[in-house]
Structure 1
Amino acid sequence: MGTSTALKVLCTTLLIEKSPQALPLGVACIASAIKNDPRTKDFYDVELQDFCLEDPKMAGIFAGATDGGKEAAEERAGLYLAGELAKKEPRIVLFSVYVWNHVVLERAARCLKKIKPEIITVAGGPEVTASPSVFEGFDYTIAGAGEEASVLLLQALAGNAGKKELPQIPGLYFLDGKPGVFEFRRTAPCLPDRLYSPYLDGTLDVSRYGGALWELARGCPFKCSYCYESKGEKKVSYFPMERIKKEIELFAEKKVPQVFVLDPTYNASKDRALKMLRLIEEKTPDTFYYFEARAEFIDRELAKAFSRVRCALQIGMQSADPEVLKNVNRTMDRKKFIKNIGYLNDEGVTFGFDLIYGLPGDTLKGFKNSIDFALSLYPNNLELFCLSVLPGTDLYDSAKDFSLVWQHQPPYNVLSTPQFPEGELKKAASLAKAVNLFYTKGRAVSWFNCVVYHLHKKPTAFLGEFEKYLKEEKVSLLPEPSLLEIRKLQKDFVKRQFAKARLEKYTDIVLDMIELYGAMSDADGEGKSSTVKLRYWPEDVLSEYAMDLPFFCANAESHRCTVKVQPSAEGAVFKIL
């Protein structure tokens, strides 16, 4: 708590959505550092003020804004944010800048200076770290981890040093209308054992966001060239176990429903990963955790440990082509990858894959091959992204060597490569939407491979025809269809596919699978009860024999029934009405 004469500091950012994975952790860490560090805590009254694109006012500003009107909407949004910040009468405002809020926050800072010129504005975050001297709308920018540099800057300002007499703080860029007047190296990484927890000091209230974004480590042992970490230190610094235990006890006390673990390679250290999983199992058995993991580090023991907690793993495959991966400093041993993912399937662990289209050296055909390979391993979801050539990454520095053409403003998407021309990238983006709707949003993992196998189609051929079906039926994806609407689309499309292949005799069991597995995923995912009408007994539909359609239809008896599916502590359950 500051003194009665403390200067008001606002730590702010603009979020995409109000959710656990989007909560303002970065800027909250800066706020915690300033309010707890002995060098600043008695001089400043610190407040966290986050905004969100989903807030009614912000949503109204951007509603209906086309590409042509986007700039005007960003200007209005910046003016609105500046007005809201000015109402708090701060002396200093620190902005956390990312790809999605870069333009709006810079405009907000400019507007704020017009409203109250005496306010000092500071910007940090990944976008600023990449190009700190480009952001002319701020008084100062900080490149690198911001906790120590922010404290040093505010300590100097509190001592009335004045902008032109500041000490040479590593990572601090003093702009004052002339980009790069004083330019120093990027800040050194902050040691985790010297950082303060925004959860434990009350800066972040997990109840506001429906969950937590939990930082367990900083740094990454890998150097994937498209990632900001490619220019960071190639080592991992772990947060002290004492702090982690206190945070998890807080999550237990607050009954936090879900936690997104912010650690790019959770299983980089197997011993630590196992220790953490035991702690999670003991302290928060009812909380659902989301981890990012590397497939090459998964073994049977880790898979069993993951299976004992409520969790899902997201695994960055990016491409299934080892030659393409070499271009971005990644590797893949396909046999080992398949074996290790098999451990997760054997233990019933939920997992998904990330894939990127537009990587240097990749093609549309290669991207489709990656999708086919990924879906053959039964992921729960498949997240497909266009390559972003982010400033501050090794890929950005080498992009011209690969003859990449990309957007030089957020979101920095690649526009063409020699092997992946613009037209092919648009086809990849369209296919990605179809995959997302049918497979991921449609929760098709339980029955998808059975369907494509009996249709004798590759997954991408099947999903490409679904893409055409959406266009022919003029299905609008805005707003996104509901789960029930997606299920209806799935059933109609699958029915047509089986009729086209003259496999109508298998249609009833496949439609039953879509209905029953869909209802069970609704019960597990949303806690939703539902009633479905089936043509076969539910036990038969869920049996492994159902996956062999000819055998099932030759031996199972048809029996129309109504089944109620509902959630329970042990997972989805059903009963015949």
Structure 2
Amino acid sequence: MCAVALLQLPLPDPDPSLAGANVPLAAGYLKACLPAALRGEVRIPPRELARYGGDAAILDWLADQEPGLTGFSCYLWNLERSLWLAARLKERAPASRAVFGGPEIIEGRPLLDHPAVDAFVQGEGEPVFASLLAAASRGEGRPLPRFTRAPLASLEALPNPYACGALEARADEPLYLETLRGCPHRCSYCFYGKQFPSVRRFPETFLPEVFALARARGVPEIYLMDPSFTSARGMEERLALLASLNPTGIPLHAELRLEAVGPETARHMRQAGFASVEAGLQSVNRAALDRVGRGFRREAFLRGAARLQAQGIQIRTGVILGLPGDDLEGFAATLRFLKGHGLAGGAEVYPLAVLPGTALHGEAASLGVGYMPAPPYWVLRAPGWSETDLFRGVRLAEEELEGELFPPLVPRFADPAPGITSCLDLRSGSPAASLRGLQLLERAAADPGSLGLASCVTLLLSAAQLASAVGLDELRRLGERLLAANPFALFQLVIEAQSTPPLEPALHLAEAFHRPGNYFDRSRYYQEDLQGRFSARLYHLTANPDAARRHYEQVPPFDLIVEYTPRLLSTARDVLEEHPILLIRHSLKPEEAKELREIYKGLSRLLVFQSA
């Protein structure tokens, strides 16, 4: 068999916790479905590289594996990046084959004509994976089947990837566990129920080994990937089994319908270890729900929520902004419903995504639904919604739920893992710039791919560098080289200055680090923002409280970072209570840490620590 590489790229975001959720479960199943003697030929990238590595670093890893076949798990957030990597890998290794699978692969899409991809698989990949490998191993230039609609897998025959060693259970990430596949519901905006209409259960024989492994490795959470945990029969028996397998109480999480939660179900869920659940409300507007085929029984929903809350189980409630047939008034009623019943704290609001392959996608034109043609496919207009209304809906949700739908983008001031560079200190005159920073500049000029850049990069700069035409040009050339080698990277440009940095040079610099059409920019389309770009972000770093106060008075197009000093608690508490990003470069005394935790309650991600 030829060597095989399997790759799943994470959701792009500077928040490292989101990258940490990138567990390659699909790759694990593909590896597990092969005979044990062949699994050693399957390479899955080191977890830190897949989570944090930039485009050039991941491309180098792929090329080093010399794979005869590379499989990409494609989701809306990584499709374009996967296509770029497949094309670059083909340039380096023309004989290597690229196979794309995952939810983005739908028959009839123009994507299927992409020249960098040799084969596309729609559906569950396990039944066809071995035959694709055999065809690739035969080689001799023969093409792979261009498109395959895979049959449903026999779940009884699938080894669990953790139990067979295809995936490592780790103490720094959740363990993703499937106990069933398929969904009985037919929501028109969801592809899962359409593609996998029947509910199929995995055999339970592997569960004792998986739970024992999770305990031994210190797994922080077991995340049940079932699309609707309450949809299969025998719920109480399943919960009793989970309780017997989870004596140490590893936190469990699942998605379910609250209407299906009875008094005994809630109690048994607590005994099994459930700490949290996701419950899709979407809307309380019955006309909108009827239009998308979504059921909702108000009183049963509330009873189920109350029962789980009485057991101390947290509820995350999903709400969709922009459903056809809903409107701003109906959306406001949904938010009031959540607030009125103690569910606002766990509410998660998302713009409607018109996903390819869904029933909604097929009838969007006839319904008058407009949407982004590229990921994330967010709605732009719909019956009851203008684009202006959708922006108003975001503001309304933030006001009613007292939170931000689009959290602040917090730069990283430390490298996430050995060999992955996430922070470059290029400030003129700083020790780091004169040593490590300048060495990196020289390497970037010769070979930008050799830097081992992360997918999110912070560049520390000084205002003096922007004031100099020579310094600005040098930084712009650096940006162009880094972006060419890492076109999907997110760049955070942090300018240290006692007062607001010069605006025009800063904007000119940001252009060199920005690739128009970046998925991350589209994913923040509904965030009203002075900068207008998110994949190349400008920050003002200052230790001057007066400069911070002027920032909040004048609101320039920079995100503010305040460098912490102990005197801020006594002389500039008003600045801290505005909750800027706070850069902490030294250890805190216990009383300082306590005060900052109180001021930043619920906003701890804005506290950023950097070693001196």
| TM-score for both structures, normalised by structure 1 | 0.66
- The secondary structure found in structure 2 opposite 1:156 is helix
1:381 matched to 2:358: no
Deviation at 1:255, TM superposition (A): 2.0
Corresponding residue of 1:316: 280
Unaligned 5+ runs, structure 1: 1-5, 59-76, 167-172, 175-182, 443-466, 494-514, 527-577
Deviation at 1:188, TM superposition (A): 1.4
Deviation at 1:103, TM superposition (A): 0.5
Corresponding residue of 1:145: 124
Between stretches 208-217 and 410-419, larger displacement belongs to 208-217
* Count, aligned residues: 431
Asked if the contact 2:9–2:51 (Cα under 8 Å) also holds between the matched residues in 1, the reply is no
Asked if the contact 1:21–1:212 (Cα under 8 Å) also holds between the matched residues in 2, the reply is no
Give 1:111's match in structure 2, choosing from 83, 88, 100. 88
- The secondary structure found in structure 1 opposite 2:131 is helix
The Cα offsets for residues 99-150 of structure 1, whole Å up to 9 and x where unpaired, read as: 0010011011111111110111111111013536244420111111101111
Corresponding residue of 1:362: 326
Give 1:48's match in structure 2, choosing from 26, 44, 51. 44
Deviation at 1:293, TM superposition (A): 0.9
Corresponding residue of 1:227: 190
Corresponding residue of 1:68: none
Corresponding residue of 1:295: 258
Asked if the contact 1:31–1:48 (Cα under 8 Å) also holds between the matched residues in 2, the reply is no
* Aligned pairs (5 A) from 1:174-185: 174=146
- The secondary structure found in structure 2 opposite 1:127 is coil
Corresponding residue of 1:30: 30
Deviation at 1:430, TM superposition (A): 3.0
1:211 matched to 2:174: yes
1:427 matched to 2:423: no
**In 2, Cα distance between equivalents of 1:475 and 1:214:** 46
Corresponding residue of 2:516: none
* Aligned pairs (5 A) from 1:92-491: 92-129=69-106, 131=109, 133-159=112-138, 163-164=142-143, 173-174=145-146, 186-207=149-170, 209-269=172-232, 271-272=234-235, 274-276=237-239, 278-280=241-243, 282-308=245-271, 309-379=273-343, 380-434=345-399, 438=403
RMSD: 3.9
Deviation at 1:418, TM superposition (A): 3.1
Asked if the contact 1:20–1:259 (Cα under 8 Å) also holds between the matched residues in 2, the reply is no
Identity, in percent, stands at 24
Cα distance, 1:394–1:440 mapped onto 2, change above 3 Å:
closer
Cα distance, 1:479–1:93 mapped onto 2, change above 3 Å:
farther
For 1:362, the aligned partner's letter is D
Corresponding residue of 1:572: none
Deviation at 1:45, TM superposition (A): 0.9
- The secondary structure found in structure 2 opposite 1:123 is strand
1:14 matched to 2:13: no
Deviation at 1:159, TM superposition (A): 4.3
Deviation at 1:206, TM superposition (A): 2.4
Deviation at 1:160, TM superposition (A): 5.0
Asked if the contact 2:322–2:379 (Cα under 8 Å) also holds between the matched residues in 1, the reply is yes
Deviation at 1:342, TM superposition (A): 2.4
Asked if the contact 1:252–1:284 (Cα under 8 Å) also holds between the matched residues in 2, the reply is no
**In 2, Cα distance between equivalents of 1:211 and 1:233:** 25
Between stretches 315-324 and 80-89, larger displacement belongs to 80-89
The Cα offsets for residues 168-224 of structure 1, whole Å up to 9 and x where unpaired, read as: xxxxx51xxxxxxxx55x211112111122211222222274221111111111111
**In 1, Cα distance between equivalents of 2:53 and 2:138:** 38
Asked if the contact 2:155–2:201 (Cα under 8 Å) also holds between the matched residues in 1, the reply is yes
Corresponding residue of 2:417: none
For 1:129, the aligned partner's letter is I
**In 1, Cα distance between equivalents of 2:22 and 2:557:** 27
Cα distance, 1:479–1:7 mapped onto 2, change above 3 Å:
farther
**In 1, Cα distance between equivalents of 2:406 and 2:374:** 30
For 1:397, the aligned partner's letter is G
Asked if the contact 1:324–1:362 (Cα under 8 Å) also holds between the matched residues in 2, the reply is yes
Corresponding residue of 1:64: none
Between stretches 334-343 and 117-126, larger displacement belongs to 334-343
Deviation at 1:48, TM superposition (A): 0.9
- The secondary structure found in structure 2 opposite 1:365 is helix
The Cα offsets for residues 431-473 of structure 1, whole Å up to 9 and x where unpaired, read as: 334556539999xxxxxxxxxxxxxxxxxxxxxxxx9xx9999
Deviation at 1:302, TM superposition (A): 0.7
Asked if the contact 1:20–1:210 (Cα under 8 Å) also holds between the matched residues in 2, the reply is yes
Asked if the contact 1:219–1:236 (Cα under 8 Å) also holds between the matched residues in 2, the reply is yes
| TM-score for both structures, normalised by structure 2 | 0.63
**In 2, Cα distance between equivalents of 1:288 and 1:107:** 38
Asked if the contact 2:4–2:42 (Cα under 8 Å) also holds between the matched residues in 1, the reply is yes
Cα distance, 1:200–1:276 mapped onto 2, change above 3 Å:
same
For 2:381, the aligned partner's letter is S
The Cα offsets for residues 10-63 of structure 1, whole Å up to 9 and x where unpaired, read as: 111211266564311112211222354xxxx549711112677995652xxxxx
The Cα offsets for residues 329-386 of structure 1, whole Å up to 9 and x where unpaired, read as: 1111212222222222333332121000011111111111111112222124100000
Asked if the contact 1:95–1:105 (Cα under 8 Å) also holds between the matched residues in 2, the reply is yes
The Cα offsets for residues 249-273 of structure 1, whole Å up to 9 and x where unpaired, read as: 2112212111211011111235235
For 2:322, the aligned partner's letter is G
Cα distance, 1:50–1:109 mapped onto 2, change above 3 Å:
farther
- The secondary structure found in structure 2 opposite 1:222 is coil
Corresponding residue of 2:59: 82
- The secondary structure found in structure 1 opposite 2:403 is helix
Cα distance, 1:266–1:24 mapped onto 2, change above 3 Å:
same
For 1:104, the aligned partner's letter is R
Asked if the contact 1:20–1:212 (Cα under 8 Å) also holds between the matched residues in 2, the reply is no
For 2:26, the aligned partner's letter is G
The Cα offsets for residues 521-552 of structure 1, whole Å up to 9 and x where unpaired, read as: 989x99xxxxxxxxxxxxxxxxxxxxxxxxxx
Between stretches 42-51 and 81-90, larger displacement belongs to 42-51
Question: Taking CA–CA contacts closer than 8 Å with sequence separation of 6 or more, which of the two structures ends up with the larger relative contact order?
Answer: 2
- The secondary structure found in structure 2 opposite 1:361 is coil
Deviation at 1:152, TM superposition (A): 1.5
**In 2, Cα distance between equivalents of 1:263 and 1:434:** 33
Asked if the contact 1:313–1:351 (Cα under 8 Å) also holds between the matched residues in 2, the reply is yes
- The secondary structure found in structure 2 opposite 1:203 is coil
For 1:13, the aligned partner's letter is Q
Asked if the contact 1:33–1:196 (Cα under 8 Å) also holds between the matched residues in 2, the reply is yes
For 2:29, the aligned partner's letter is C
For 1:416, the aligned partner's letter is R
For 2:168, the aligned partner's letter is D
Unaligned 5+ runs, structure 2: 408-528, 530-550, 563-568, 579-593, 606-612
Asked if the contact 1:23–1:209 (Cα under 8 Å) also holds between the matched residues in 2, the reply is no
Cα distance, 1:476–1:336 mapped onto 2, change above 3 Å:
farther
Cα distance, 1:204–1:431 mapped onto 2, change above 3 Å:
farther
Deviation at 1:474, TM superposition (A): 5.6
Cα distance, 1:221–1:477 mapped onto 2, change above 3 Å:
farther
- The secondary structure found in structure 1 opposite 2:356 is coil
For 1:99, the aligned partner's letter is L
